[in-house]
């Protein structure tokens, strides 16, 4: 006896927990369409999304083995009509139906017998997509009752999608039409070529149990990618446990990772499991791996090799089933050469090595994508109207080098959202003024001889020193005491040099 289709209210239950996580959005949407088709007893389903700049709908998740994607004009076909009119439609028989667009059947070779389509509306009531089902199983037509069910499902789906970065990307595209709609993983924003290459590697690595090493500057989003690897793999329903080696005293890291036995040290009055035991069946994310003390590196190597360890103060081996993802901004090969990191551990932990690009190498379009995304999320977090991102503020964001990467941009935007009143202006951005002064100083600096296109940039020593000092000041956000300490010069020496560059001492 065939099983009955799931209740409408159950469509999103298995997927709701993924909405706020770094899930592969294409896989998420395809599973969503599969569930909708089963619920409506349809042969095929399609999720259409609206491209408001081109005034087109494009299929984003669909049962389309024949073609990768279909686009229709707003008003064209049943889906186009639903998006334009904002009302549901069911077509019991497409023959003679003026709203039916037969070219799609000719393109795919599929024969549509009946269909139903309903709009997807956001919280403001605006249509941003269409849900459509084709050919009721068993041969009968879709009914008005089916359309009502599909409308109820659309309300669930829309609520879920508005919590993802896909919806924010659709909104961003209205203001940034030169950059097409694109996304891969929820909460991870960016379309720069280095990121696209990274997405492909994550999609390959995630379904496996391979150990992954994430490398990149601080603030690049290493934890987001670590979570994406976990969420899109077979361990997604098991724990994801993070250990930040930089946030713990060296003496406590071993205890944090492996736990301890009763009596292991003064005050150890009972056995305490560590992070590896807490993550059994799931993933341990070891952040700032380069800070791991050498005494603990050997125990981690044993976990990687044998999937076992001993608690602090213990003698009995504890077996554990975990996947390990590690991250660092340190130069591990150099640390290996200097004897500060075990070579055997380094090669064991870099089975798959992913290098995250700094924000300054991702281009102006990614900075704008991220900025608009953070404006929307910050406004929602603080229960504020979404402010407009002014042209001068946007130009300033694109000009800045972002030594703190994506994390610095997010904090900068959050501050600007809170301080602005309807529009984010340049003065709302908590950024140092030094890069503007540096640009001005560079424009008045003596010209250097032109070099051949492939030749290295040749600069006088004084110019190299000047650029380096300004870069350090930018990295420490204008703190001259910190800059002098980093440069290993006196603060008076730094003040004198800045005066030579035309930058008055601001105290």
What is the per-residue pLDDT across 435-488, written as a single tens digit (0 to 9) for each? 554 444 444 444 444 444 444 455 666 667 777 888 888 777 778 888 887 887
pLDDT over threshold 70, residue 365: yes
Percent over 70 (pLDDT), the chain: 89
The least confident of 100-104, 285-289, 472-476 is 472-476
pLDDT over threshold 80, residue 433: no
CA dihedral sign, ordered 34, 38, 39, 45: positive
Query: First-to-last CA distance in the chain?
Result: 82
pLDDT of amino acid 451: 43
Burial 228-245 (b: 16+ CB within 10 A, else e): bbbbbbebbebebbbbeb
> Quick check: pTM over 0.85?
no
- Gap between the Cα atoms of 346 and 333, Å rounded: 8
pLDDT of amino acid 92: 93
82 vs 433, which has greater pLDDT?
A: 82
Q: Which residues pair with 491 in a beta bridge?
A: none
pLDDT of amino acid 268: 80
Q: Rg of the Cα trace of the chain?
A: 28
Distances (CA, A) of 399 to 32, 282, 360, 473, 475: 40, 41, 9, 16, 15
- Gap between the Cα atoms of 490 and 483, Å rounded: 10
Q: What is the mean pLDDT of residues 380-398?
A: 95
Please give the full DSSP string across 267-296, using - where no structure is assigned. Answer: T--S-B--HHHHTTTSEEEEESGGGS-HHH
**Alpha carbon 135 to chain centroid, angstroms:** 37
pLDDT of amino acid 383: 95
Q: Could you identify the residue written with the tokens 């640009």?
A: 439
User: Tokens at residue 243, please?
Assistant: 């250990």
Quick one: pLDDT band at residue 12, thresholds 50, 70, 90?
A: low
Q: Which domains does the chain have, with CATH numbers?
A: 8-175 (3.30.450.40), 193-355 (3.40.50.300), 364-431 (1.10.8.60), 432-446+457-507 (1.10.10.60)
User: Tokens at residue 407, please?
Assistant: 């994390």
Vertex 35, ends 30 and 39: CA angle to 5°?
150
Count CB atoms within 10 A of the CB of residue 272: 17
pLDDT of amino acid 14: 62
Q: Could you identify the residue written with the tokens 């065939």?
A: 2
DSSP state of 485: H
- Gap between the Cα atoms of 190 and 181, Å rounded: 10
- Gap between the Cα atoms of 8 and 35, Å rounded: 10
């Amino acid at each position: 006896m065939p099983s009955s289709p799931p209740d409408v209210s159950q469509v999103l239950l298995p997927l709701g927990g993924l909405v706020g996580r770094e899930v592969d959005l294409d896989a998420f949407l395809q599973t969503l369409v599969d569930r909708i088709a089963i619920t409506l007893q349809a042969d095929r389903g399609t999720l259409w999304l609206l491209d408001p700049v081109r005034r087109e709908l494009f299929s984003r998740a669909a049962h389309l083995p024949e073609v990768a994607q279909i686009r229709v004009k707003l008003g064209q076909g049943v889906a186009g009509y639903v998006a334009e009119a904002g009302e549901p439609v069911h077509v019991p028989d497409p023959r003679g139906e003026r709203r039916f667009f037969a070219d799609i059947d000719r393109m795919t070779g599929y024969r549509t017998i009946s269909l139903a389509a309903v709009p997807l509306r956001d919280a403001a009531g605006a249509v941003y997509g269409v849900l459509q089902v084709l050919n009721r199983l068993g041969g009968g037509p879709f009914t008005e009752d089916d359309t009502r069910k599909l409308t109820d499902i659309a309300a669930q789906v829309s609520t879920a999608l508005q919590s993802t970065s896909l919806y924010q990307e659709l909104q961003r595209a209205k203001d940034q039409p030169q950059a097409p709609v694109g996304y891969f993983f929820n909460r991870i924003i960016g379309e720069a070529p280095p990121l696209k290459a990274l997405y492909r590697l994550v999609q390959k690595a995630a379904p496996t149990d391979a150990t992954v090493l994430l490398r990149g500057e601080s603030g690049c989003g290493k934890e987001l990618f670590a979570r994406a690897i976990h969420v899109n793999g077979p361990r997604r329903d098991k724990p994801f446990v993070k250990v930040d080696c930089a946030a713990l005293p060296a003496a406590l890291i071993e205890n944090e990772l492996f736990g301890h036995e009763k009596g292991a040290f003064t005050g150890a009055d009972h056995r305490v499991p560590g992070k590896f035991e807490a993550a059994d069946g799931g993933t341990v994310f070891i952040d700032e791996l380069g800070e791991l003390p050498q005494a603990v590196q050997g125990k981690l190597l044993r976990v990687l090799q044998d999937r076992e360890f001993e608690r602090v103060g213990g003698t009995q081996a504890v077996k554990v089933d975990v996947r390990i993802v590690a991250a660092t901004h340190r130069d591990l090969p150099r640390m290996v050469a200097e004897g500060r990191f075990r070579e055997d551990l380094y090669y064991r932990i870099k089975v798959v090595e992913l290098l995250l690009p700094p924000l300054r190498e991702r281009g102006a379009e990614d900075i704008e994508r991220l900025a608009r995304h953070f404006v929307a999320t910050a406004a929602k977090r603080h229960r504020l109207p979404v402010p407009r991102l002014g042209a001068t503020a946007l130009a300033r964001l694109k000009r800045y080098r972002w030594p703190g990467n994506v994390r610095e941009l997010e904090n900068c935007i959050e501050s600007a959202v809170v301080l602005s009143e309807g529009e984010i202006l340049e003065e709302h951005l908590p950024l140092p003024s030094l890069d503007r002064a540096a640009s001005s100083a560079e424009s008045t600096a003596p010209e250097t001889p032109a070099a051949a296109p492939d030749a290295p940039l040749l600069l006088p020593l004084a110019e190299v020193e000047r650029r380096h000092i300004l870069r350090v000041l930018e990295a420490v956000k204008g703190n001259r005491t910190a800059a002098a300490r980093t440069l290993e010069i006196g603060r008076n020496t730094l003040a004198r040099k800045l005066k030579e560059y035309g930058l008055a001492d601001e105290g």
